[in-house]
């Protein structure tokens, strides 16, 4: 309902976070119609969207320089201050950030609204407390309402960019600085959203949503965030305290610092502000002013004559330069539109047209107010204004369709990087401005739709480019998930792939989590933290299942890896096959649960060893129980130490001295006394060898052939059924086959080429192996002749001579030669003669 009584004029003043804008929206919606002017197109779009949600799109209009959405029965108008249609009567009217009437560039517009914009029943101006004295002076009948900040704002000192707290906004004063800071935050903290006044509302809203959702914890912005943009910021960090104001680089005024710093804190949540990067520390007076919200009051408002004289071009220029007549106002410096008017006013064609047609002069001033969205050179902007004026004052009095169509085709592209897209968007804003002039085009409605769609496409592309450059999406998602554990979406797929909030973070294999490779230290840290949070419960459950599994669920590979249901769960870390130690894979999970799982794997290995290595287990039991004694016990112990294969040369004397009983005892225990080795045939089965190889120490996996340097230990060779013979590793059974071939040869010790090839040795290898086994060639073999070998230390056996025929005359002689020699009588020893004694 509308308020009764005389019109109300109220100024709601106070620092940031006092709910002034929220109050104005509530008051406006309490009237049948209303209008609110806001300092930024971005903020206007935000308030428009809020009111649309409350009242529906059919009754809410949005009017800015580049965009117009005006339903047929609009009741509420959300506008930029410059675009407020003051000719339309509304019951409620409000202007936000009214302290901008002191701004050198735009101040005269806000001053005009302060002095002349009124609602039928209620008018409200919202702004900083520094406006109170000026409002009393200019509007003596206004009611001034002072509001206190809902939360405290305190200074937290300087902080490094890498040490800023979460939910921080970093404020810089150039696009290059914004980009550099955002890039650094991406590398160090996962990513940042970027907000600048030059961004389109759609891009800005997407970036703010990126920050508000918590996907990134940092916002890098220009001082545009000081103009009422509402975000959940806990800390504002200034990357500088100086800005270029269009004329010179100057220090920020305390009120400007307070306006920006006041974005920290939300409703009753306290906020902090400080400096970062290379910014110098704030002095004590500035800190006190910002914390206490005490600033110098605004002494005067920028003013420009609104009652312009369109009698002639010279009269228009004189009226623009007219001084204010009311105290508290000061003549504004020349704005862009005045500079542009002065630049074209001397051209003969412009003078001639304005002299002949007063409507042309009005059109000239209208054209000169076109903003320079592209921020090009002054000459380029003036050239564009001159073209507009020429077209709008010619025969058709319209901007040519060919011109705007050509401009549109040139801009209708989404390729390029951030700067290219931003420049293209600025040019589209110029087209949108032209399309939203009611009588500049033949088809303004059609071009409004086209430019809006093009701006949306470019805005979406720019948002994607900003994200690609300044947001490490995977890291930021993980970091966000870690702070919202209750809402975190994490899952383990059937193949073990682990995802957090839709991002692949690694793979769960058995009870071990293998994190994905991070591109930075920060991402690696986020991945590890995500593993603890996302897969910790699943690993705990799996550890419990593993500890309760039967032996059939496990397997053991020759590489020493224990498998659980086909996935690696642990590896041998020492011990013996019958008393193994197992290292469980992974690091996650409760310590007690991991210990139980490791003990279960060790129990499986011990049980499997008793089955696969039964002969070795039997030998060990016989030694420990005392069943085997004497020399056999010593040989058995050495055989056990060697892993079941022992060089016979090492125990040749002991083996030769074994009694028949001891030999039978060893044989009953599965020990074979071979020609070259003592070994256990039961351990040479493929299944037994595969199991024993899992406990083989060392990194190398030996095979038959020349030994590596350094050679593996005998136990490792034994696990592969091999034995070291000189510089070669030879299968035990091959050595025994060598003995059989030597015994079966036509000539003892003869190693024929056929036998050598059967053993798989070359001539050089055979020669090395035979010498290493203690053999030596009897004589030098000729070309193509096989070698005859004998063991070193063995005398060659005498060959019996052929006996002559008994009927031969030499038979009796042969008998005499074979007869033993006759026994010789021992020589008698002579007694020594003693010498006679001398008298």
Domain termination residue (choose one: 112, 146, 180): 146
Q: What is the predicted pLDDT for the residue at 406?
A: 95
Query: Alpha-carbon dihedral of residues 65, 67, 72, 75, nearest 10 degrees?
Result: -70
Q: What is the predicted pLDDT for the residue at 446?
A: 93
- Domain containing 778 equals 745-793
Q: What is the predicted pLDDT for the residue at 316?
A: 93
Strands ordered across the beta sheet of 750-751? 750-751, 787-791, 775-777
Find where tokens 């060392």 sit.
698
Strand pairing of 561-564 and 567-576? antiparallel
Q: What is the predicted pLDDT for the residue at 816?
A: 52
Find where tokens 């091999």 sit.
722
pLDDT at 2 over 50: no
My answer on whether 535 and 671 are in the same domain is no
pLDDT, one tens digit per residue, over 56-100 is: 999 999 999 888 899 999 999 999 999 999 999 999 999 999 999
pLDDT, one tens digit per residue, over 192-223 is: 999 987 788 889 889 988 898 888 889 999 88
Q: Measuring CA to CA, which residue among 237, 272, 245, 289 is closest to residue 129?
A: 289
Q: Does residue 828 fall inside a structural domain?
A: no
Q: How many domains does the chain have?
A: 6
My answer on whether 418 and 517 are in the same domain is no
My answer on whether 168 and 201 are in the same domain is yes
Judge if the upstream peptide bond of residue 710 is cis by omega within 30 degrees of 0. yes
Q: What is the predicted pLDDT for the residue at 415?
A: 92
My answer on whether 632 and 493 are in the same domain is no
Rounded distance between C-alpha atoms, residue 311 and residue 758, angstroms: 122
pLDDT tier at 819 (50, 70, 90 boundaries)? Answer: low
Q: What is the predicted pLDDT for the residue at 204?
A: 86
Whichever domain contains 237, its CATH number is 3.40.50.300
Q: What is the predicted pLDDT for the residue at 501?
A: 62
Q: Does residue 583 fall inside a structural domain?
A: no
Rounded distance between C-alpha atoms, residue 750 and residue 741, angstroms: 9
My answer on whether 740 and 765 are in the same domain is no
My answer on whether 248 and 319 are in the same domain is no
Q: What is the predicted pLDDT for the residue at 205?
A: 86
Q: Does residue 370 fall inside a structural domain?
A: yes
Q: What is the predicted pLDDT for the residue at 486?
A: 47
My answer on whether 259 and 178 are in the same domain is yes
pLDDT at 584 over 70: yes
Rounded distance between C-alpha atoms, residue 639 and residue 670, angstroms: 12
Q: What is the predicted pLDDT for the residue at 789?
A: 85
My answer on whether 95 and 199 are in the same domain is no
Find where tokens 């030669």 sit.
817
Minimum mean pLDDT range among 37-46, 270-279, 504-513, 660-669: 504-513
Q: Does residue 398 fall inside a structural domain?
A: yes
pLDDT at 595 over 90: yes
Minimum mean pLDDT range among 208-217, 220-229, 235-244, 566-575: 220-229
For the chain, percent of residues with pLDDT exceeding 90: 49
Q: What's 715-759 look like in SS3?
A: HHHHHCCEEEECCEEEEHHHHHHHHHHHHHCCCCCEECHHHHHHH
Mean pLDDT estimate for the chain: 86
pLDDT tier at 815 (50, 70, 90 boundaries)? Answer: low
pLDDT, one tens digit per residue, over 662-702 is: 899 999 999 999 989 999 999 999 999 999 988 887 656 78
Q: What is the predicted pLDDT for the residue at 802?
A: 46
pLDDT at 124 over 90: yes
Q: Does residue 231 fall inside a structural domain?
A: yes
My answer on whether 451 and 332 are in the same domain is yes
Higher pLDDT, 374 or 133: 133
pLDDT, one tens digit per residue, over 318-362 is: 999 999 988 999 999 998 999 999 999 989 999 888 888 888 999
My answer on whether 50 and 178 are in the same domain is no
pLDDT at 491 over 60: yes
Q: What is the predicted pLDDT for the residue at 60?
A: 97
End-to-end CA distance of the chain: 177
Domain termination residue (choose one: 502, 526, 547): 547
My answer on whether 761 and 690 are in the same domain is no
pLDDT tier at 55 (50, 70, 90 boundaries)? Answer: very high
Rounded distance between C-alpha atoms, residue 779 and residue 763, angstroms: 16
Q: What is the predicted pLDDT for the residue at 362?
A: 92
Q: What is the predicted pLDDT for the residue at 192?
A: 92
Q: What is the predicted pLDDT for the residue at 793?
A: 62
CB 194 within 8 A of CB 207: yes
Exposed, middle or buried, 696 (CB in 10 Å: 0-12/13-18/19+)? buried
The SS3 assignment for 554 reads strand
pLDDT at 493 over 70: yes
Q: Does residue 646 fall inside a structural domain?
A: yes
Q: Does residue 384 fall inside a structural domain?
A: yes
Find where tokens 């669920």 sit.
553
pLDDT tier at 839 (50, 70, 90 boundaries)? Answer: very low
Sign, Cα dihedral of 48, 52, 53, 54? positive
pLDDT tier at 189 (50, 70, 90 boundaries)? Answer: confident
pLDDT tier at 269 (50, 70, 90 boundaries)? Answer: confident
What number is the average pLDDT over the span 386-413?
Answer: 93
Contacts of 290 (CB under 8 A, 6+ apart): 153, 155, 254, 257, 258, 261, 273, 282
pLDDT tier at 719 (50, 70, 90 boundaries)? Answer: confident
pLDDT, one tens digit per residue, over 641-653 is: 888 899 988 888 8
Q: Measuring CA to CA, which residue among 789, 786, 754, 758 is closest to residue 771?
A: 789
Exposed, middle or buried, 767 (CB in 10 Å: 0-12/13-18/19+)? middle
Q: Token pair for residue 572?
A: 């041998």
Find where tokens 């891009």 sit.
203
Q: Does residue 814 fall inside a structural domain?
A: no
CB 69 within 8 A of CB 293: no
My answer on whether 364 and 400 are in the same domain is yes
Rounded distance between C-alpha atoms, residue 311 and residue 390, angstroms: 20
Domain termination residue (choose one: 146, 170, 205): 146
Q: What is the predicted pLDDT for the residue at 388?
A: 94
Rounded distance between C-alpha atoms, residue 26 and residue 93, angstroms: 12
Q: What is the predicted pLDDT for the residue at 3?
A: 47
pLDDT at 716 over 90: no
């Amino acid at each position: 309902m509308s308020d009764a009584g005389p019109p109300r004029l109220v100024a709601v003043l106070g620092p940031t976070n006092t709910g002034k804008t929220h109050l104005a929206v509530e008051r406006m919606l309490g009237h049948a119609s209303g209008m609110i002017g806001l300092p930024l197109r971005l903020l206007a779009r935000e308030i428009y969207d809020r009111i649309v949600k409350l009242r529906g799109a059919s009754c809410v209009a949005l009017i800015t320089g580049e965009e117009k959405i005006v339903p047929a029965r609009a009741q509420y108008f959300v506008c930029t201050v410059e675009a407020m249609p003051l000719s339309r009567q509304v019951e409620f009217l409000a202007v936000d950030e009214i302290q901008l009437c002191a701004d050198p560039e735009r101040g005269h517009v806000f001053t005009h609204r302060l002095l002349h914009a009124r609602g039928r029943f209620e008018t409200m101006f919202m702004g900083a407390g520094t406006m109170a004295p000026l409002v009393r002076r200019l509007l003596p009948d206004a009611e001034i309402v002072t509001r206190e900040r809902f939360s405290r704002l305190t200074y937290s000192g300087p902080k490094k960019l890498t040490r800023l707290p979460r939910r921080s906004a970093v404020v810089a004063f150039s696009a290059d600085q914004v980009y550099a800071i955002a890039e650094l935050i991406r590398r160090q903290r996962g990513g940042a959203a970027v907000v600048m006044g030059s961004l389109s509302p759609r891009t800005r809203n997407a970036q703010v949503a990126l920050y508000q959702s918590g996907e990134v914890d940092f916002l890098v912005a220009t001082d545009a965030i000081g103009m009422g943009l509402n975000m959940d910021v806990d800390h504002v960090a200034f990357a500088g305290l100086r800005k270029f104001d269009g004329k010179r680089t100057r220090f920020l005024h305390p009120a400007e610092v307070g306006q920006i710093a006041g974005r920290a804190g939300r409703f009753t949540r306290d906020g902090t502000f400080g400096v970062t990067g290379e910014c110098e520390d704030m002095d004590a007076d500035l800190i006190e002013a910002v914390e206490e919200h005490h600033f110098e009051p605004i002494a005067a408002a920028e003013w420009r004559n609104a009652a312009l004289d369109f009698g002639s071009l010279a009269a228009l220029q004189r009226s623009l330069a007219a001084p204010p007549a009311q105290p508290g106002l000061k003549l504004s410096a020349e704005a862009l539109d005045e500079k542009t008017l002065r630049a074209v006013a001397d051209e003969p064609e412009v003078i001639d047209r304005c002299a002949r047609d007063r409507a042309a002069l009005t059109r000239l001033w209208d054209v000169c107010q076109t903003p320079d969205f592209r921020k090009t050179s002054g000459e380029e902007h003036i050239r564009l204004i001159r073209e507009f004026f020429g077209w709008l004052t010619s025969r058709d009095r319209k901007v040519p369709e060919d011109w705007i169509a050509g401009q549109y085709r040139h801009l209708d592209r989404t390729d390029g990087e951030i700067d290219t897209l931003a420049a293209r968007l600025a040019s589209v804003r110029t087209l949108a401005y032209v399309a939203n002039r009611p009588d500049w085009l033949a088809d303004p409605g059609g071009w409004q739709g086209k430019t809006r769609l093009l701006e949306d496409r470019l805005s979406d592309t720019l948002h994607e480019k900003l994200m690609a450059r300044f947001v490490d999406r995977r890291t930021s998602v993980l970091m966000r998930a870690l702070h919202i554990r209750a809402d975190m979406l994490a899952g383990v797929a059937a193949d073990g792939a682990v995802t957090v909030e839709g991002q692949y973070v690694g793979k769960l294999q058995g009870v071990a989590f293998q994190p994905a490779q991070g591109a930075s230290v920060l991402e690696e840290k986020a991945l590890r933290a995500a593993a603890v949070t996302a897969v910790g419960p699943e690993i705990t459950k799996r550890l419990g299942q593993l500890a309760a599994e039967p032996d059939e669920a496990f397997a053991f590979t020759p590489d020493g890896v224990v498998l659980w249901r086909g996935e690696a769960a642990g590896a041998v870390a020492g011990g013996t096959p019958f008393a193994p130690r197992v290292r469980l894979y992974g690091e996650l999970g409760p310590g007690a649960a991991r210990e139980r799982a490791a003990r279960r794997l060790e129990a499986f290995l011990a049980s499997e060893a008793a089955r696969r290595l039964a002969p070795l287990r039997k030998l060990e039991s016989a030694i420990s129980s005392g069943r085997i004694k004497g020399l056999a016990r010593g040989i058995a112990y050495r055989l056990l130490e060697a892993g079941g294969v022992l060089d016979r040369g090492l125990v040749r004397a002991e083996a030769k001295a074994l009694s028949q009983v001891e030999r039978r005892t060893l044989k009953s225990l599965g020990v074979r006394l071979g020609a070259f080795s003592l070994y256990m045939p039961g351990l040479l089965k493929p299944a037994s060898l595969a199991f024993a190889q899992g406990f083989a120490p060392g990194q190398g996996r030996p095979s038959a052939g020349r030994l590596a340097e350094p050679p593996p230990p005998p136990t490792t060779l034994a696990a592969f059924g091999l034995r070291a013979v000189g510089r070669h590793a030879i299968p035990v059974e091959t050595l025994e086959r060598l003995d059989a071939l030597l015994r079966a040869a036509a000539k003892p010790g003869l190693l024929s080429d056929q036998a050598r090839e059967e053993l798989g040795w070359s001539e050089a290898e055979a020669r090395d192996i035979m010498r290493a086994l203690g053999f030596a060639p009897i004589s030098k073999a000729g070309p193509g002749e096989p070698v005859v070998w004998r063991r070193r230390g063995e005398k060659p056996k005498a060959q019996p001579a052929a006996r002559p025929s008994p009927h031969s005359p030499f038979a009796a002689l042969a008998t005499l030669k074979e007869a033993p020699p006759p026994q010789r009588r021992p020589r008698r020893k002579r007694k020594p003669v003693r010498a006679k004694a001398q008298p």
